[in-house]
């Protein structure tokens, strides 16, 4: 994302309110629209007097429109990215209005996943703000007949100090709009010392709406004439309706009709699952009607899937040589010599996202076009799948993005949105599809179940002389290719191929596993099971060697160096390895800092209490976490305190970042305590919060202290990196408190009570 160019677009000139000669600034990789004169929904920014960027518009009254192109699911990116624009513009935040973009490729990537909203759009946001500021200064200088270099800005006004002249952004907007848009090289970005918002942050733009119930989520979307739908999906992935009887369903008051839905053609990708939909006048009637359906299913080949047997298969695979993804030295030669060799199996089951807002979408198919209102992390993926399902052009799919009641990766997969679109076309009315919690738990794209085999030989000083790790899990690419069985580089990189320890002999492997359910991204993704295995095995080795876990961990991280990935497929989360090198010194620094902040080794731990530590880099952010636990005689585990230190490079919004790491600890607590999805004969056993519990207030950490390392490194992720080290540190703390080692999550299997 760098250079900008003028994209003169006719539709902006015919908009009525637009002055001739107005220009739109695009970012170079945004493809130009071919005809360019009929986008379905222009933004207010597009129609503002000065609109030098697709992200920005300034009105004559000084109102600044900033377009949020990323989805808001609680990370505050809808506020933080506009803050960057406002800062470079030197705008008054109180005069900024944020509007949400529809799905539109002119904004570039809109898939709000992978903790990269700030990282990928920081430069574009700065450029948008700086460009407008440049043009406003030029306009003022021209009016006053003074050199632009003598003018500056001061919170929404341009100032010429020596003549004491001032002009507001609003009054300059029209004149500025007539000027040429500057090249990127001409822009002068504000020095860090002049930043108003970046690094200081702001609360969510939507905060008042959130506490008054006025915020509109997907669940709250309404249009006139809409009906409600609830869909009975095939219980087993790939199953089909053999026959169904809807007589009783149609008797339910408020039920209008039932609609059979086609099964998907493998691979599943983001296609609707098929089944039978009940259409009704309200959500409740749709739910009730659905209960009265009598459906006979053909479950198909995945009926053979049982998660217990599958676990054994994964483990067996991991006990034999697998595909090598990275190798240093000769670990086997060291193991062959005997001595102190340790082995351990680690296991993390399938995990469900369970965002508080279940899947929901509203669709209106009319005159060959589809309009959607959806809590989606990826409106362009909505356009793709809806255009395919309905056989219409992508441009004829308009996806409005509502607020998301949580996402955690589930809502980047728009199967539920496509379902609403298909139903609207069949029913001939706007349809709102509402998934129940049971649908959400049973028809998720689960975080992969994973089995990790770990082996290490310890030298005389307690440091490993050889290390072998094998991970086996059904990979995410299996949703796009039914034959995909190996982890792809973008998931193996997540804390596996980049195992950072300074070791002479290291072999990292990955084994095959066929998927029988849909696998997908979930907050932190593969980092959860990879960090769990590596950081808990590290702790095991420390205890085996009789060493302090912190000292042992620091020894393994070693002296500051940059990891060399020559000959290794390491995508680095899509970022360049030059801009974002893997620096062990930064991991070491956060580890040392969390030890100090948590009082590691200085606090006394009574019986049943203990602390654990773990360190991990994910989404380009370095994190170390210390968790303190108390386990009582009944085996109940409390988490009185968590300390976590992060180095995410430049942090735009520290307050939102702290909140993300507080939340990550709670998310991780759910993984360790109760996170487990199982399947019998291909069907998911869990259904709601009684059998898929997530952490409640007393089960969450009582106090999570978050410390941010302030850094001039480029910005990295903050939404996900807190989870993986928390999970491992929590398990290490349980061992410290009880002597019981959690290798098999969740800890309900540990026998603490």
437: contact with other proteins by CB under 8 A: yes
What is the 8-class DSSP label of residue 503? -
How open is the CA angle 495-457-319, to the nearest 5 degrees? 65
Tell me: does residue 662 bind other proteins (CB under 8 A). yes
By CB under 8 A, is residue 666 in contact with other proteins? Answer: yes
* Segment interacting with other proteins, rule: CB under 8 A, options 271-279, 354-362, 471-479, 557-565: 354-362
User: Other C-beta atoms within 10 Å of 304: how many?
Assistant: 13
With 0-12 / 13-18 / 19 or more C-beta atoms within 10 angstroms meaning exposed / middle / buried, residue 394 is middle
704 in contact with other proteins (CB under 8 A): yes
Between 250 and 482, CB nearer to other proteins: 250
Alpha-carbon 381 to chain mean position:
15
Nearest CB to other proteins, comparing residues 582 and 619:
619
Residue 446 carries which DSSP code? B
DSSP code at position 163: G
Choose one: 192-200, 484-492, 571-579, 695-703; the region binding other proteins (CB under 8 A). Answer: 695-703
Residues 53-82 binding other proteins (CB under 8 A) are 72-76
- Cβ at position 699, least distance to other proteins in Å: 9
Q: Over 38-88, what HEC string results?
A: CCCCCCHHHHCCEEEECCEEECCCCCEEEEECCCCCCCCHHHHHHHHHHHH
Contacting other proteins (CB under 8 A), which of 120, 174, 678, 688? 688
CB of 640 to other proteins, least distance (A): 11
Name which position in 700, 718, 731, 737 contacts other proteins (CB under 8 A). Answer: 700
Q: CA nearest 252: which of 228, 226, 231, 281?
A: 281
701 touches other proteins by CB under 8 A: yes
Q: Applying CB under 8 A, which of residues 164, 212, 296, 559 lies at the interface with other proteins?
A: 212
The answer to whether 492 contacts other proteins (rule: CB under 8 A) is no
Please name the residue that has the structure tokens 């490194």: 713
Does position 717 bind other proteins by CB under 8 A? no
C-alpha separations of 329 from 465, 722, 753 in Å: 10, 32, 44
- Residue 445 to residues 269, 547, 554, 606, 663, Cα–Cα distance (Å): 10, 41, 36, 42, 21
Cβ 669 to other proteins shortest distance, Å: 8
Residue 698 binding other proteins, by CB under 8 A: yes
Tokens 């807002």 — which residue?
Answer: 357
Q: Interface mask (CB under 8 A) for other proteins, residues 243-272, using x and -?
A: ----------xx------------------
197 binds other proteins, rule: CB under 8 A: no
Range 319-322 contact pairs with CB under 8 angstroms and sequence separation of 24 or more: 319/453, 320/511, 321/509, 322/470, 322/472, 322/509, 322/510, 322/511, 322/512
CB 742 to other proteins: min, Å: 20
- What is the gyration radius of the CA atoms in the chain, in angstroms? 27
Cα atoms found within 13 Å of the Cα of residue 308, Cβ hemisphere only: 3
Query: Using the rule CB under 8 A, which residue among 124, 219, 508, 620 binds other proteins?
Result: 219
Region near other proteins per CB under 8 A, out of 35-43, 290-298, 480-488, 665-673:
665-673
Residue spans of alpha helices (H) in 145-224: 169-177, 207-212
Q: Are 397 and 342 in contact (CB under 8 A)?
A: no
Stretch that binds other proteins, among 48-56, 404-412, 645-653, 745-753 (CB under 8 A): 404-412
Question: How do beta strands 323-328 and 369-374 pair?
Answer: unpaired
- The first and second tokens of residue 33, run together, are 């629209």
Contact between 112 and other proteins (CB under 8 A)?
no
In terms of Cβ atoms closer than 10 Å to its own Cβ (0-12, 13-18, 19+), residue 504 is: middle
SS3 498: coil
Query: Per CB under 8 A, does 499 bind other proteins?
Result: no
Question: Total residues at the site for other proteins (CB under 8 A)?
Answer: 66
Give me the least distance between CB of 213 and other proteins, in Å please.
2
What x-and-dash track marks residues 279-318 binding other proteins by CB under 8 A? ---xxxx-xx------------------------------
- Minimum distance from CB of 281 to other proteins (Å)? 8
From 420, 450, 436, select the one nearest 351 (Cα to Cα): 450
| Residue 3 C-beta: closest distance to other proteins, Å | 35
What is the smallest separation between the CB atom of 227 and other proteins, expressed in angstroms? 11
* Both tokens assigned to 122: 């920081």
- Minimum distance, C-beta of residue 448 to other proteins, in the bound complex (Å): 20
Position 697 contacts other proteins (CB under 8 A): yes
Q: Does 549 interact with other proteins (rule: CB under 8 A)? A: no
Q: Enter the tokens of residue 554.
A: 């620091």
216 binds other proteins (CB under 8 A): yes
Shortest distance in whole angstroms from residue 269 CB to other proteins: 26
Considering only 16, 147, 213, 225, the residue that binds other proteins (CB under 8 A) is 213
Q: Which one of 110, 130, 204, 618 is in contact with other proteins (CB under 8 A)?
A: 204
The secondary element (H helix, E strand) that includes residue 348 is: strand 340-348
Residue 22 burial class via C-beta count within 10 angstroms: exposed 0-12, middle 13-18, buried 19 and up? buried
Which positions from 618 through 657 interact with other proteins, judged by CB under 8 A? 655
Residue of the chain from 237, 403, 456, 522 that contacts other proteins (CB under 8 A)? 403
| Structure-token pair, residue 81 | 């990215």
Q: Is 675 in the site for other proteins (CB under 8 A)?
A: no
For the CB of residue 252, give the shortest distance to other proteins in the complex, in Å: 8
Helix 526-544 and helix 549-557, axial crossing angle in degrees, nearest 10: 120
Q: How far is the CB of 244 from other proteins (least distance, A)?
A: 23
Is 94 one of the binding residues for other proteins (CB under 8 A)? Answer: no
List contacts with other proteins (CB under 8 A): 72-76, 203-204, 206-208, 210-217, 219-220, 222, 228, 253-254, 282-285, 287-288, 354-358, 403-408, 434, 436-437, 655, 659-660, 662-667, 688-690, 694-698, 700-704
């Amino acid at each position: 994302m760098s250079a900008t160019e003028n994209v003169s677009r006719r539709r902006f000139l015919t908009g009525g309110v637009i002055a001739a000669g107005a220009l739109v600034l695009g970012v170079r990789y945004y493809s130009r629209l071919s005809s360019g004169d009929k986008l379905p929904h222009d933004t207010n920014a597009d129609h503002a007097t000065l609109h030098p960027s697709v992200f920005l518009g300034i009105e004559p009254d000084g109102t600044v429109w900033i377009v949020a192109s990323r989805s808001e699911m609680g990370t505050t990116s809808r506020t933080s990215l506009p803050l960057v624009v406002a800062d470079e513009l030197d705008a008054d935040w109180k005069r900024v209005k944020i509007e949400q973009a529809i799905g539109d490729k002119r904004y570039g990537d809109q898939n709000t996943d992978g903790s990269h909203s700030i990282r990928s759009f920081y430069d574009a946001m700065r450029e948008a703000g700086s460009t407008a500021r440049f043009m406003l200064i030029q306009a003022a200088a021209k009016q006053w007949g003074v050199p632009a270099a003598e003018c500056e800005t001061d919170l929404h006004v341009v100032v010429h100090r020596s003549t004491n002249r001032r002009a507001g952004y609003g009054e300059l907007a029209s004149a500025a709009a007539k000027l040429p848009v500057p090249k990127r090289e001409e822009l002068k970005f504000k020095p860090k010392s002049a930043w108003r918002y970046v690094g200081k942050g702001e609360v969510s733009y939507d905060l008042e709406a959130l506490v008054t119930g006025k915020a509109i989520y997907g669940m709250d979307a309404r249009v006139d004439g809409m009906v409600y739908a609830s869909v009975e999906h095939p219980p087993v992935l790939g199953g089909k309706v053999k026959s169904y009887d809807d007589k009783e369903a149609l008797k339910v008051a408020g039920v209008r009709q039932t609609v059979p839905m086609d099964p998907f053609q493998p691979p599943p990708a983001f296609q609707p699952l098929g089944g039978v939909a009940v259409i009704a006048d309200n959500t409740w009637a749709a739910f009730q009607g659905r209960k009265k359906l009598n459906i006979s299913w053909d479950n198909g080949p995945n009926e053979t899937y049982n998660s217990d047997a599958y676990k054994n298969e994964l483990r067996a695979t991991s006990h034999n040589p697998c595909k090598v993804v990275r190798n240093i030295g000769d670990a086997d030669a060291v193991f062959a010599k005997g001595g102190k060799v340790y082995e351990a199996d680690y296991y993390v089951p399938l995990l469900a996202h369970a965002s508080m807002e279940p899947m929901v979408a509203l669709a209106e198919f009319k005159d060959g076009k589809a309009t959607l209102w959806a809590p989606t992390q990826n409106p362009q993926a909505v356009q793709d799948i809806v255009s395919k399902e309905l056989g219409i052009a992508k441009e004829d799919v308009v996806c409005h993005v509502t607020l998301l009641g949580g996402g955690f990766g589930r809502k980047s997969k728009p199967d539920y949105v496509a379902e609403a679109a298909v139903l609207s076309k069949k029913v001939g009315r706007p349809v709102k599809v509402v998934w129940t919690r049971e649908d959400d738990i049973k028809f998720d794209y689960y975080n992969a179940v994973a089995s990790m085999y770990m082996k290490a030989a310890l030298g005389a000083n307690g440091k490993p002389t050889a290390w072998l790790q094998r991970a086996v899990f059904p990979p995410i690419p299996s949703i796009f290719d039914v034959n995909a069985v190996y982890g792809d580089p973008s998931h193996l990189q997540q804390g596996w191929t980049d195992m950072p320890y300074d070791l002479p002999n290291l072999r990292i492997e990955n084994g095959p596993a066929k998927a029988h359910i849909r696998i997908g991204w979930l907050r932190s993704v593969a980092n959860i099971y990879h960090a769990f295995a590596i950081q808990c095995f590290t702790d095991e080795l420390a205890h085996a060697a009789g060493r302090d876990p912190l000292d042992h961990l620091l020894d393994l991280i070693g002296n500051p160096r940059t990891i060399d990935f020559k000959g290794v497929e390491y995508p680095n989360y899509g970022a360049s390895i030059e801009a974002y090198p893997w620096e062990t010194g930064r991991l070491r620094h956060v580890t040392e800092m969390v030890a100090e902040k948590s009082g590691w080794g200085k606090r006394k731990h009574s019986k049943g209490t203990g602390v654990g530590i773990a360190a991990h880099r994910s989404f380009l952010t370095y994190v170390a976490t210390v968790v303190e636990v108390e386990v009582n005689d009944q085996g109940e585990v409390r988490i009185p305190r968590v300390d976590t230190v992060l180095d995410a490079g430049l942090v735009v919004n520290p307050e939102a970042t702290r909140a993300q790491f507080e939340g990550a600890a709670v998310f991780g607590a759910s993984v360790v305590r109760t996170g487990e999805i199982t399947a019998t004969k291909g069907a998911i056993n869990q259904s709601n919060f009684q059998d898929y519990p997530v952490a409640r207030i007393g089960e969450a950490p009582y106090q999570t202290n978050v410390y941010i390392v302030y850094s001039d490194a480029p910005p990295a992720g903050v939404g996900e990196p807190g989870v993986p080290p928390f999970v491992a540190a929590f398990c290490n703390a349980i061992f410290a408190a009880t002597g019981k080692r959690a290798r098999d999550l969740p800890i309900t299997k540990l026998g603490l009570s």
